Structure 1
């Protein structure tokens, strides 16, 4: 089965592209399998391209998307690229050649897939960007993600709460600081990394300007603090270098803005190896995170990592499945944002999901009671198969 895209004219001289109408919708849990895709569902094939299997969350994302699509009766080609751009481009090329009907892509480099998306458009294959916006192409038809700027705001507020500047309601406690912190950002080729950092700095920059927050290294620009490919080892090495270059004279480090749990672990390794800690109540600086990886939830429960941002990827997968089903049925996926995500060529219609901040006291109500992890998994720091 090959889908025919719903087409409409764009600016004069431009190619025809899929036009999506925005509508304020509900979350992804509204029974996407109820309507079905009609007779012939078994003939629908979906290509799902995920960036890596070295990062726990992407394994979960890939498996959740695959299961949701298979529950609709679709066949699924799920591929992981091990953070290698040529591997991902080859995988997507193969999916297009084999005639998939929809592509769901979590890109490694959001600027590296233009030729693949051109080929998909020529074959009338809709493209859904999954959590990472694909840039510089008009052939991105839909984007499912979380509110990424809100993630950064939440990370900054979590850092300030861990430092004691804010209370649990994100209200000032009256403490004035100053607090010494260092900043980390994600991979510069991941569009989300900029949103996370900008959201965090919208909170932190005014406090840097008035002296409440001090960055002793002076490294406050996005380009100075990025972490290529979100690699633990890269974050650990940069933290080690910062400690050597900036904190050898007795300066105190109070906290670190870490935008992902995988980076948090590397940063914490460096801090503990330098004699800080081993836990928050024994002098370890406050370290934030993102993704609620099970190893980090144990660190939070053990008083090592301060907080993380929980993005329920089950809901993200459901939303991607729902958007895929809409394309299969010749309909327009439901968007709740048609203004924010400009990929350099077009504003991509998007569906944004909310996030939650998790401190130790939030583990049970947010993660365990919701069935995301069990208490035994948290205790072990490892999810059951």
Structure 2
């Protein structure tokens, strides 16, 4: 343990240098984000290499993990690469060099991140794949939601609203394995409708780095190609959903064409109660973050990890903990997002006249 303590002490400056600016605008300093650098050498230290902190959803992951780590008396060092594969590899190597007990990784690129697993294992450090599966690697455990089910829930919801017509599918980042799982789940539901000729999939594109601007361009292209004759839009998450709705608004179609989402972002919840977005898939981030951290601690202690599934990553069947996603729309917003204090009631309904808001 003495060697780990030495490496942690030496690396404080390097982690600050690597992360400087990553957390700008998040209301916390680098020291607060990297948590308890003066910890004793017996404290469990968990490194977390994140793809991004540019999205509300991932900021929530970070905040819950920091709070949970403090509650459990463990140290967590967090770095985010914001979509840069080389930077994520360098940051992960930095965390490994500090002698973390476990490395959690939410990869930007599911394939590229395999090198991170290999580097960690060379130092005897187990790796937990967080929310996004690391492909073609010997990653130790995967903690996420049932991502194929997310896609199925989106498609089931929208096909009940629109069982026939022209459909657009706007997916997520092609580098993110989850994006492919969401699409697979959705297509499992859509295929029988397509085969019968009830649904015509007129546009199908992924969106680089989950960028809403990419999704907006896709929606604009779909509308142009089909002379605005689009009946339903399945968007893989709320960010891409927001981009699609912006394009629909330009053609006075926002609120008239059903649009799906995922992540239960505040802006999406606002759009749902305003009638601009049909639904989102709620994946309770506190449950994911707490489950992942608890699992990481067991890995650090070399205790048995309880899993409920296995997911093949192209190389092995990865022991997995898959949590259940939940459909949220205008009807159950109060019983899910508001009840769980995921977003404040006042913020969700701020654009709704008070006499039209549901009672708390």
After TM superposition, the score normalised by the length of structure 1 is 0.79
Paired with 1:327 and 1:151, the residues of 2 have a C-alpha distance of 28
Correspondence 1:308 to 2:280: yes
Question: For 1:109-167, what per-residue CA distance to the aligned partner results, in whole angstroms no more than 9, with x for missing partners?
Answer: 011123322121011111000000001112x000000011111110101212333x4xx
Paired with 2:175 and 2:115, the residues of 1 have a C-alpha distance of 17
Correspondence 1:208 to 2:194: yes
Question: For 1:195-254, what per-residue CA distance to the aligned partner results, in whole angstroms no more than 9, with x for missing partners?
Answer: 111111111111011122122x3x45xxxx11111110111011111211222xxx6211
Matches within 5 A, 1:64-213: 64-138=64-138, 140-163=139-162, 165=163, 178-213=164-199
Matches within 5 A, 1:290-369: 290-338=262-310, 341-369=311-339
Tell me, what secondary structure is at the counterpart of 1:373? coil
Paired with 2:41 and 2:156, the residues of 1 have a C-alpha distance of 46
Paired with 1:325 and 1:315, the residues of 2 have a C-alpha distance of 15
- Structure 1 residues 371 and 346 mapped into 2: Cα distance closer, same or farther (>3 Å)? same
Paired with 2:247 and 2:115, the residues of 1 have a C-alpha distance of 41
Instruction: List alignment gaps of at least 5 residues for structure 1.
Output: 4-39, 166-177
Aligned partners of 1:130 and 1:143 also within 8 Å: yes
Equivalent position to 1:242, from 222, 225, 233 = 222
Please state how far the C-alpha of 1:269 moved relative to its aligned partner: 0.3
Higher helix share: 2
CA RMSD of aligned residues (A): 2.0
Question: For 1:79-126, what per-residue CA distance to the aligned partner results, in whole angstroms no more than 9, with x for missing partners?
Answer: 121111111111101001111111111000011123322121011111
Tell me, what secondary structure is at the counterpart of 1:287? coil
Correspondence 1:265 to 2:242: yes
Please state how far the C-alpha of 1:379 moved relative to its aligned partner: 2.1
Matched length: 317
After TM superposition, the score normalised by the length of structure 2 is 0.84
Q: Which has the higher contact order (CA 8 A, sep 6+)?
A: 1
